[in-house]
Structure 1
Amino acid sequence: MNDFKLVMISNSSIRQNTNSSTLYQIFHQNTKQSKNYLMENMYRSRQLLNSQSFRHATHNPGKHYPLSTKVQLYSPSLNDELSNLLFYRRSQIVKHLHYSLSKMEISNLFWAGYGLNYKKTRTAPSGGALYPCELYGVVINSDEMPRGLYHYSVEDNSLELMNQDNKVFEYTNYLMGLKNFRYPAMVLFITAIFDRNSFKYDDRAYRYTLLEAGGIAQNISLMATKYKLVACQLGGTDDFACEKLLQIDGVKESIVNALIVEKEGKWLPNKEDD
């Protein structure tokens, strides 16, 4: 028996004798939060995070090799659009505005996140081109589109209206930590259908899924910056409430990430921005 078969048999045996759930499923379910339950350290760290000296000490963390030879790199050229989008990307609001998203803005935010490119693959890279993610959005304020919860259909670049009940727009019921956002124009949700890539990559598929979700969110953030919008990735989701809203089971398909889109009324660099 070759080494590969032996490893596969061993892994299968361990899983059968411990738990039928895969490691990534256990991790994902055990790290969910809601308004009634947060991770222990999220409580313990509040006082520390409110300390000005702590924030100053941790402002730009990074390793250094002081004895190494250093090569100074060129400063970014702000003459091209991509460099400008990266330079001015922000996730905090300085001046809050009521703003109605145009259909063009909404279209390009969804397409940038997970749309088809010239090769008929996606705008975000995907391990094995298996595309485990799905993209949803709650359009809260738009004069050119009906308000409601939508699912993004990649194949024909369209939005499928799922729900227009009032509960859809009561975003404080499924989002937490909104003190920096007063007038969200849209909320985007990235979910994952784990079986799409776990059949090939097993538990390691979870890594690839999270990397893919990060690529989707970054694309949305850059497109938002083009329109002088702020797209903030929000870790403060009530996962169970979000999954109920999206009508997904939370196991086979579960929320991975969320973004709030709001208009910035003072588009200037700010020293407190992240």
Structure 2
Amino acid sequence: MTSRKRIAGDFLYEVYHENSKNFELEALDDVPDSWTEIEYKTYDSTESIPLSDVDGDIGNLISQRRSTDEFDSGPLELEQVSQLLGTSMGITTNQEDPNDQRRAYPSAGARYPVEAYIFANSVNGLDEAVYHINTLDNKLERVNKYSSDYSLDFISGEESNEAPLIVFLSAVFHRSTEKYASRGYRYTILEAGHIMQNLCLVATELDLACRPYGGFIEDTADEFLELPERETTIYVGLISSTK
């Protein structure tokens, strides 16, 4: 069993998470003097085995996937968004008991601590608003209507203003940590990575551009999505048509 230790009443993962948040966005070119090029690991071995690619659709998708720097601000169609979200995050095995259903991504103990939301910045057929992705019922639920008074400046760069669709992944950590203690924090972060990779690959299949983002201010994102106290944003993906 992993650690259930606390510091001043908070679990260790909660202390770490709070202290690893962004509270302001630094310029991307503002890097420390200690910044160095990556030294990739190799072994000086007399034996090496060349790797090969898989022929077929999945191999092509993986080779074509790129995190784009250029976003087409033109609107997306609702059907594109529906296919992207339903394929990336939908239920793939239905059971009468919702606790027995399985989804398009792995989740430790099938606890599914990651929730998903979108901001429809420019999607034909959707109001300019925040929507929650209800995976169990396979539908979008509107959370709030976007106000022009609210800025997207909590996401770094200008791309967030140009992307017609923004996907937010949030964590309800206690779903996982109740079973796995502090290690459930790791499992939740891993799950978000699986979902984002699905989004990237399905976007590629749909001829859309996808860019995962870690540069955002979590507390402001939580306010934007109107998240309850025990839920917080952990990952952002920007989606547009390809240029």
TM-score scaled by structure 2? 0.87
Counterpart position of 2:125: 144
Residue 13 of structure 2 is aligned to residue 24 of structure 1: yes
2:226 is the counterpart of 1:237: no
Deviation at residue 182 of structure 1 after TM alignment: 6.1
- Partner amino acid, structure 2, of 1:235: G
> In the TM superposition, what whole-angstrom CA distance separates every residue of 1:240-271 from its partner, at most 9, and x where no partner exists?
11010111245x21111111112221xxxxxx
- Which segment is superposed worse, 61-70 or 211-220? 61-70
Structure 2 CA distance for aligned equivalents of residues 197 and 182 of structure 1: 33
Counterpart in the other structure of 1:112: 87
Q: 2:60 aligns with which of 75, 79, 84?
A: 84
Query: Partners in 1 of 2:161 and 2:142 — Cα distance?
Result: 25
Q: Which residue of 2 aligns with 1:269?
A: none
Answering whether residue 157 of structure 2 is matched by residue 177 of structure 1, we say yes
Query: In angstroms, what is the RMSD of aligned CA positions?
Result: 2.6
Contact 2:214 2:236 in 1 (8 A): yes
Q: Deviations over 1:44-87 (max 9, x none)?
A: 625676xxxx5xx43xx53111224001122442xx22111111
Give the structure with the larger helix fraction. Answer: 1
User: How much has 1:19 moved relative to structure 2?
Assistant: 2.2
User: Aligned letter for 1:93?
Assistant: D
2-structure distance, mates of 1:190, 1:115: 14
Query: In structure 1, how many angstroms separate the alpha carbons of the residues matched to 2:142 and 2:232?
Result: 19
Structure 1, unaligned runs of 5 or more: 266-274
Counterparts of 1:48 and 1:97, CA distance in 2? 36
Give me the whole-angstrom Cα distance separating, in 1, the residues matched to 2:29 and 2:174.
34
Secondary structure at the aligned position of 2:103 is classed as coil
Higher strand share: 2
2:69 is aligned, of 93, 97, 103, to 93
Q: Are 1:63 and 2:52 matched, yes or no? A: no
Provide the secondary structure at the position in 2 that maps to 1:171: coil
1:166 partner SS: coil
**1:142-174 deviations in whole A, cap 9, x for unaligned?**
1222221000011111000111132487322x2
Residue of structure 1 in register with 2:98 after alignment = none
CA distance in 1, matches of 2:140, 2:227: 17
The 1:92–1:82 alpha-carbon spacing in structure 2 relative to 1, beyond 3 Å, is same
> How many residue pairs are counted as aligned between the two chains?
237
5 Å matches for 1:196-207?
196-207=175-186
CA distance in 1 between partners of 2:211 and 2:117 (Å): 15
* Bigger radius of gyration among the two: 1
Equivalent in the alignment of 2:174? 195
With over 3 angstroms needed to count, the CA separation of the structure-2 counterparts of 1:104 and 1:240, relative to structure 1, is: same
